[in-house]
Amino acid sequence: MDALGILIVIALIHCLLFFFDIFFKSCSHFPYLYFLENTGLEIRLFRLTWFTTAFNRKIIKWGMSRSRFWTAWFNAGVIITIVLLPIVIIILLKMTFSMWRAGSSSDDNSGVILEPMLPGVNVPFSEIGYYAITLAICTIVHELGHALAAAREDVQLFGIGLFIFFTIPIAYVDMNSEQTAALPLKNQLRIMCAGVWHNIILATVAAAVLVFSAWLWAPLYSLDSGVYVKTILPNSPMLGPTGLLERDVIYKLNNCPVRNSEDWYDCMLHAVQHSSPGYCVKQSFIQDYDESVPAKQKTNGVVNCCTTDSETSGSLCFEYIEGPQAAPLHLPPHSCLPARAMINQSQNFCQTSHECLSHDTHCLKPSLDNVTKIVQIKRKVNKDVLYIGHPADIYRTVDVSDWVPKYSFLHPRLPESLALFCKYITAFSGGLAFVNVAPCFFLDGQYIISILVLYLLNSIPHNKNIREATILTVTSIATLLLIINVMYLLINKLL
């Protein structure tokens, strides 16, 4: 299903839920109203809200236990958040100036640090599940930080909820704002900085798991030892009795070593951009297996020296490449040889005959057009796969993984999923921390900057107007900068 189909299905589900919600409410179905009241569900068009008080007692218990630990924990959060605040402001200014210098050009992204992640644009729709789940986890952890800090400061907690707008889940916490405002400024800072602090910790943990994933999976998987064939598409030219198999481990393409998926791509690109390599072949083999007929040159420059029957059986026309130190030639300039047998017994790759070490060997290159290549795929268990065609067809139809299982019952899906999950957690949690610490309206930074200004200007008498003006100015400028940058990035991504 394509991206548009997925969006249509999600929209239909929302419309059906909204329709049945109106239908049951209009019919005054008491069981349905009782169900909504007891579950905390609220259904609107393209919006679902869930609110509960079931976790209040547990959160209060966590917040009140281990008093010294939580005090040190949230104090550390205040310090880190305050240090991060000017850094975020500087980054916003830098991004704005970079955008101003770039002007209308969308090619200059050197100043881009914050980047929106949009499904179907720079996030594949195949990963929409990771997108939604990680966003929900990051917002829940953020709000849990506020809830724990509020419980620690003895602020009344009304409940927590989850808000889903179309496909975007957002968690929230409802607590007594009057009690929060009555707290000392440093206690208020602990509550307001807790969400950002928890996002920073979550992003750090996810990044650490990602960095040390090779070590964590070492007993079960190996890295940089080749690529593992996960799937082969039904239309792949690699299928067949002598083709690739799923679970094969590939370690070389022609003379190009393959240690990971990046090498796999680079070796494929090298095969596309360069002509097929030559092969050092013994003269005796050529004399025994040569089935050449008078050579004919085709319109595309390819020399044909094989009969139709020979080509059907897997023979190719090879051209003798003479080097400056080559042995005297006792062979015709073109030979029709069985490709697989010749390549299997060849000693090494070559470009000229003097690269062949033995005096009775010659460098032979296949006579092919600029598009068709010979690709020799070496795998660890089965014999080599020989492919004659365009290398891009291999890359397009064969899906490989860096994770090579050490046991046959394992599959690379598990470490790949964990790595992708950690990448999303790191990106989303770090992004939420960055955005929320910005002193903008409706974000945590608005309340953090307000508390900081009140604390710094508290010693100045009759400073209420100065404080309010300072808070409003800083918040307005930061909000304007954030909106400009986000809109600029969205326009560049969507257009």
356 with 286, same domain: the answer is: yes
Report the pLDDT value the prediction gives residue 4, as an integer from 0 to 100: 67
Q: Is 176 found in the same domain as 265?
A: no
Do 253 and 376 belong to one domain?
yes
Q: Are residues 353 and 488 in the same domain?
A: no
275 lies in the same domain as 377: yes
pLDDT (0 to 100) of residue 6 = 73
Residue 207 belongs to a domain: no
What is the DSSP code string of 199-232? HHHHHHHHHHHHHTHHHHTTTTEESSS-EEEEEE
Half-sphere exposure of 172 (CA within 13 A, CB side): 13
Distance CA 224, CA 260 (A): 5
Residue 224 lies in a domain: no
What pLDDT shows up at residue 466? 79
Chain centroid, CA 321 distance in Å: 46
- Give the count of domains, the chain: 3
In a domain, 206, yes or no: no
The residue segments making up the domain with residue 262 are: 248-389
Q: What is the pTM of this model?
A: 0.80
Q: What pLDDT shows up at residue 104? A: 46
What counts of helices (H) and strands (E) characterise the chain? 16, 19
For the packed helices 128-152 and 56-64, what is the interaxial angle rounded to 10 degrees? 60
Judge contact between 295 and 304, C-beta under 8 A.
yes
In a domain, 50, yes or no: no
Residue 267 in any domain: the answer is: yes
In this structure, are residues 202 and 191 in contact, taking their beta carbons and an 8 Å threshold? no
pLDDT of residue 329: 52
Same domain, 380 and 463: no
Q: Specify whether 194 is located in the same domain as 259.
A: no
| 279: β partners | 349, 364
- Are residues 33 and 68 both part of a single domain? no
Whether residues 73 and 141 fall in one domain: yes
Residue 214 resides in a domain: no
Is 123 domain-assigned? yes
Residue-level pLDDT, tens digit, the chain, 495 residues: 556 677 788 889 889 988 888 888 887 677 888 888 888 888 888 888 988 888 888 998 888 887 788 999 999 999 999 999 999 999 989 888 887 877 644 444 544 556 777 666 667 777 888 888 999 899 999 999 999 999 999 899 998 888 888 777 888 899 998 999 899 989 999 999 999 999 999 999 999 999 999 999 999 999 999 999 999 999 999 988 888 999 999 999 988 999 999 999 999 999 998 888 888 888 888 888 888 888 888 877 788 888 888 888 888 899 888 754 444 555 678 889 998 888 888 878 888 777 887 777 888 888 888 788 889 999 998 888 999 889 999 999 999 999 999 998 999 999 999 999 999 999 999 999 999 999 999 899 999 999 998 888 776 655 677 778 888 999 999 999 988 888 887 777 766
Element (H, E) at 12: helix 3-26
Are 73 and 155 members of one domain?
Answer: yes
Residue 156, Cβ density class (10 Å: 0-12 exposed, 13-18 middle, ≥19 buried): middle
pLDDT for res 1: 52
Structure tokens at 28: 């005054």
Pair 135, 170 in one domain: yes
CB atoms within 10 A of CB 138: 28
pLDDT at 326: 46
* 71 and 15 in a common domain: no
Residue 406 falls inside a structural domain: no
